[in-house]
Amino acid sequence: MHKDIATPVRTKEILDKYGFSFKKSLGQNFLIDTNILKRIVDHAGLTEETAAIEIGPGIGALTEQLARRSRRVIAFEIDQRLLPILADTLSPYENVKVIHEDILKADVRQVLKEEGEEGSELMVVANLPYYVTTPIIMKLLEEKLPIKGIVGMLQKEVADRITAKPGTKEYGSLSIAVQYYTVAETVMGVPKTVFVPQPNVDSAVIRLMVREEPAVKVKDEKFFFFVSRSSFAQRRKTILNNLTSQLPDGKNKKEQIIAALKAAGIEESRRGETLSIEEFARLSDELYPIFS
From the annotation, which residues make up the binding site? 29, 31, 56, 77, 102, 127
Same domain, 24 and 122: yes
- 246, 274 in Cβ contact below 8 A? no
pLDDT computed for residue 20 by the predictor: 87
Round to whole Å and give the CA distance between 135 and 250.
28
Structural domain count, the chain: 2
Residues 132 and 270 in one domain: no
Do the Cβ atoms of 108 and 115 come closer than 8 Å? Answer: no
Nearest residue to 102 via CA among 94, 111, 93: 111
Residue 202 shares a structural domain with residue 234: no
Instruction: Report the chain's terminal Cα–Cα distance, integer Å.
Output: 60
Give the pLDDT score at 25. Answer: 67
pLDDT of 210 reads: 97
Does 106 share its domain with 237? no
Backbone angles phi, psi at 13, to 5 degrees: -55, -50
- Binding residues for S-adenosyl-L-methionine, as ranges, are 29, 31, 56, 77, 102, 127
The three-state secondary structure class of 16 is helix
Describe the strand order of the beta sheet including 72-76 as a list of residue ranges. 96-99, 72-76, 50-55, 121-127, 149-155, 203-210, 182-190
Nearest to 161 by CA among 145, 176, 182: 176
Task: Give me the domain span that covers residue 151.
Answer: 8-210
Q: Is residue 25 part of a domain?
A: yes
Write the CATH number for 39. Answer: 3.40.50.150
pLDDT of 77 reads 95
Give the three-class secondary structure for 206: strand
Give the per-residue pLDDT at 1.
62
Handedness of CA 130, 132, 138, 139 (dihedral sign): negative
* Judgement on whether residues 234 and 93 belong to the same structural domain of the protein: no
> E strands of 191-236, at which residues?
195-196, 203-210
- The pLDDT profile of the chain, 292 residues, written as one tens digit per residue, is 678 999 999 999 999 999 988 776 666 788 999 999 999 999 999 998 999 999 999 999 999 999 999 999 999 999 999 999 999 999 999 999 999 999 999 999 999 999 999 888 999 999 998 889 999 999 999 999 999 999 999 999 999 999 999 999 999 999 999 999 999 999 999 999 998 888 888 999 999 999 999 999 999 999 999 999 999 999 899 999 999 999 999 999 999 999 999 999 999 999 999 999 999 999 999 999 999 8
Domain boundary among 178, 210, 242: 210
User: Do 131 and 204 have their domain in common?
Assistant: yes
Task: Tell me how far the alpha carbon of residue 151 is from its chain's centroid.
Answer: 8
